[in-house]
Structure 1
Amino acid sequence: MSRVLAFLTARQSAGRAGWRVTDALFRGAVGGLGLVGVGVVLHRVDLVVIGAPLLLATIAALAVPVGRPPVPRLEPLPRTVEAGDGAKAAITTAADPGVEFLAIRLPTPGTASLGPVHLLSGRATTLRATLRWNAWGEGVDLRPDHLAASRDALLISGPVVGVETRRTVLPPVVPLITGPLPPRASGLVGAHRSRRPGDGVELRTVRPFQPGDRLRRVDWRVTLRAGAATGDPLAVPHVREQHAEVDADLVLVLDSLADVSAELADWSSAAPGVTVRPGGSLDGSVRAAAALAAGYLRQGDRVGLIDLGHPQLSLPPGVGLRQLTRLRHQLVACSRAAGWASRPVLLPRQVPPGAVVVFLSPFLDDATVTAATTTARRHLVIAVDMLPSPLVADPGTPWGEVVRLVMTAEHQARREALRANGVAVVDSPEAVAATLRRVRS
């Protein structure tokens, strides 16, 4: 009787701690007790010999306390990582002696897979997993789902969905050759030469001294030579006048209204497990924007970002490494909200005067073309066609090839409309530099 009471007490305490019984417990307890009872009533020793060990083993397994269910804890990892980085994730657990094994499932970062299941003994304290973030974006990359079992699996806890670990994976920066941007006429300090005089390093002319000129600009050699010709060495001081170095602005316009791949059959469905279609138009646009921003910020230009679908996510032009980090974070935010806008929005006040505007878009609708041509009336606009090529027809419908031909013809007509309105159209971000050199020459 005492053993039965201990069995019931252990079961109740485990239930209050968060454990639940399994079929193995009922089979061991009910089956063992039933065999022993029937054997005593019928005076069958064989039934008692079979049922007693089963009942005693069940009671002995429950006699070891299981305590609170173990909860895996993940050691802190960086909140922001680079695409292609890897890290060692350590998951620690603390279990009581009554826990026999712990099953932990880890999702695979950047994929739709739930990941492998790791089966650990109750004495194990640390699980180490290798993580690698191959795809950029933001979302859940590690979630230790777990299930714990007591001895002989008589009690289990779970399965429990673990605490989600979110991380921002910044898009990669690919080295890109940059071209010369036209300087802003209103600037006074920067990396580009302007036609107006001012502070700089490139000589513009040497002229006679005028009221307002600084004495440190006097060229004494030229002054002495000019004075020797007139007989008065200091009669007409001459000063050196430089070209002013001014800022140049580059504004990247991201088309987040559409994210398409080369397969027309996939346009109507979302990519499973990811927010951005790998190898699609938005993926290529974000990578191109990061590369262009890094290249022009490196040479001292000001770079900003405009999201056609969400103007509130735009980033004003800035300089330096901090601006590049902010811009890459903003690209991830734009991709997270992609596809929810009904039409493109580009306000004139978003583009500074004299800035070069680079459109990164597949140009699948006339509204985007209209936004680019309207901007071209006031700025130099370069359109980078991000539509994957060549398009692949849908093999599941007899009209697949016809649809492909129509889409290709409409896209080509939009490209021609851009060129007719003064917009330079290129097929890759690498061609932006050549276009800028052609414009400056």
Structure 2
Amino acid sequence: MSSWRPTAGLVRACLLAFGGATGGLVLGQEVLLVLGAPFVLLAVMGVLHRPVRQPAVRTVIDHGRLHEGQGTTVRVEVDDLAGVEHVARVASPPAHVGTRPRYGAVGSLVADGLPVLEVSPRRWGRRELGVERVALTSHWAGWRWGPADMPEHGVLVLPQATPYDSRAEVPQPDGLVGSHRSRRLGSGTDFEGIRHFTAGDRLKRITWPVSLRTGELHVVTTRAEQDAGVWLVVDALRDIGESGGIDGAASTLDLTVRAASALAEHHVRTGDRVGLLVLSSDPVRIGLGSGPRHLQRLQGTLARVRADARSEPPERLDLGAGAGSVVHVLSPMLFTPLVTATAGLLRGGTAVVVIDTLGGHGSAPDPDPLALTSLAGRMQRIERDDRLRRLAELGCPVVAWRGPGTLDTVLRQLARRGRVPKVRA
């Protein structure tokens, strides 16, 4: 436990004051008394302003849950500031966390307010803000408390939801109420067309302008609006590339997590039911749900994703997805078992979209084409291209993540495909 101790300045002032007074009296040199007089004043004032009570110091953080790029403040609290004139703080620079001041060192007079440290996490995940040390100094800089180590604070950083919006409909909505057009005619507000009146039609559906003009009764037909079940399969088996945070280059896991967060926020905002499956050493499965609380649960799960090189993808994906669900597989598609599991979902009649999150990794020219690493990388890219080609032959669209509008064309094609009559042998 820290306590008040004399500073080097107070010790030096006492020694010089004692030496000047002793030398002036013993040697009879008045000049030594004159030179030592200021140090006598400093020593006396420093000793008289010694703090009596031991303060309790702690640091608190304003927010424990942030998004990438957001900032918060770490404050220091002292229960007893009697006799304290200056407060200094020094924090070790953590990885993927920006601080202001830049190097994490800040100090101020108590009269000007206690010093604050501003932090801003630059990458999603659980971020520790580093070890911090706090020191207190009394009046006349005679006594110092600390520096004492403060408990380390942690922040849960949610992935930044890339601005994403899509006006395309989910291929086969099967819910009750939502924003997607149903495949069946029903009592909705989405205009479908005008047809002749038949037995069983509601009278309020009659369109009188058309009926009076043609001389026959006509009714307006509409489609009901339904919600859909959307599954997000996140490949967290490997992390290829080096992450530079929100301000730098993105690794494959960065692209995957941020894309999943953007899709989850978009579908929850439109009223769909969203589920999540994280493929890692410790798989996590969250069932279908909707609402802001469910979105926070999804984003919190994505923020805790960790890549493990020892984990292997499953041979079969068991989502329990219904016939009206759509599955988004976010993956670089570098592992054959994951491709096999995706093909199994396709054969089961599920609408599957593969979102390629490899990005620009692996496309840069090799400095030494004959090196073993370069040859291995080219072989892996050839195998990956072959896997994607086979998925395309099965009718699975593969699209690279580009942010807004990435899935518009693909979902429209799947919706048209879902309306085509199917012939079963």
Instruction: Mark yes or no: TM-score above 0.5.
Output: yes
Q: 8 Å contact 2:106–2:116 — kept in the other structure? A: no
> Cα 1:104–1:354, aligned 2, differ >3 Å: closer, same or farther?
same
Distance 1:433 1:55 in 2: 81
- 3-state SS in 2 of match to 1:66: coil
The 1:353–1:44 alpha-carbon spacing in structure 2 relative to 1, beyond 3 Å, is: farther
The CA RMSD measured in Å over matched residues stands at 4.5
- Given the superposition, is the C-alpha separation of residues 253 and 23 from structure 1 closer, same or farther in structure 2, using an over 3 Å criterion? same
Q: Which amino acid aligns with 1:413?
A: D
* Residue 208 to residue 148, structure 1, CA distance change in 2 (3 Å): same
CA distance in 2, matches of 1:156, 1:193: 71
Aligned to 1:5: none
Distance 2:218 2:253 in 1: 57
Q: CA deviation at 1:44?
A: 2.6
Matched-pair contact (CA < 8 Å) for 1:70–1:148: no
Q: Are 1:260 and 2:224 counterparts?
A: no
| Paired position in structure 2 for 1:148 | 136
Q: 1:28 to 1:319 in 2, by over 3 A?
A: same
Partner of 2:108: 120
Q: How does 1:260-279 map to 2 (within 5 A)?
A: 260-261=240-241, 279=250
Matched, 1:440 2:423: no
Does residue 1:158 correspond to 2:146, yes or no? yes
Residue matched to 1:382:
353
Residue aligning to 2:280 = 309
Name 2:47's counterpart in structure 1: 62
The structure-2 alpha-carbon separation of the partners of 1:59 and 1:96, relative to structure 1 and needing over 3 Å to count, comes to farther
- Number of the residue aligned with 1:328: 299
Task: Say whether residues 1:369 and 2:339 are aligned partners.
Answer: yes
Where does structure 2 lack aligned partners over 5 or more consecutive residues? Answer: 417-425
Q: Could you say if the C-alpha distance between residues 390 and 198 of structure 1 is closer, same or farther in structure 2, counting changes exceeding 3 Å?
A: same
> Take 2:204 and 2:142, find their aligned partners in 1: how far apart are those partners?
92
Matching residue of 1:319: 290
Matched, 1:77 2:66: no
What are the superposed Cα offsets for residues 200-229 of structure 1, whole Å, 9 maximum, x if unpaired? 34568767546xx9x7778698xx99xx99
Q: Give the superposition deviation at 1:146.
A: 1.5
- Which residue is equivalent to 2:422? none
- Offset of residue 372 of structure 1: 1.9
- CA offsets 1:286-311 (integer angstroms, 9 cap, x no match): 22122223333344332222111267
1:111 aligns with 2:82: no
What amino acid maps onto 2:43 in structure 1?
A: T
Which residue pairs with 1:342 in the alignment?
311
Contact 2:317–2:345 (CA under 8 A) maintained in structure 1: no
TM-score, scaled to structure 2: 0.73
- State the shift of 1:357 in Å: 0.9
Alignment of 1:80-95 (within 5 A): 80-86=65-71, 91=76
- Judging changes above 3 Å, is the alpha-carbon distance between structure 1 residues 203 and 421 closer, same or farther for their aligned structure 2 residues? closer
Structure 1 pair 93/216, CA: closer, same or farther in 2 (3 Å)? farther
In the TM superposition, what is the alpha-carbon distance from 1:434 to its structure 2 partner? Answer: 0.9
Residues 1:433 and 1:84: Cα distance change in structure 2 (over 3 Å):
same
Distance 1:151 1:206, change over 3 A: same
The structure in which a higher percent of residues are helix is 1
Sequence identity of aligned pairs in percent? 27
Hey, what's the Cα distance between the residues in 1 that align with 2:326 and 2:58? Answer: 50
Distance change in 2, residues 1:97/1:245 (3 Å) = closer
Paired with 1:207 and 1:341, the residues of 2 have a C-alpha distance of 65
Q: Structure 2 matches for 1:228-307, cutoff 5 A?
A: 243-261=223-241, 279-307=250-278
**Pairwise mapping of residues 134-213 of structure 1 onto structure 2 (< 5 A)?**
134-141=122-129, 145-150=133-138, 153-173=141-161, 174-184=163-173, 187-196=175-184, 198-201=186-189, 202=191, 208-209=198-199
For these two proteins, the number of residue pairs brought into alignment is: 399
Greater Cα radius of gyration, structure 1 or 2: 1
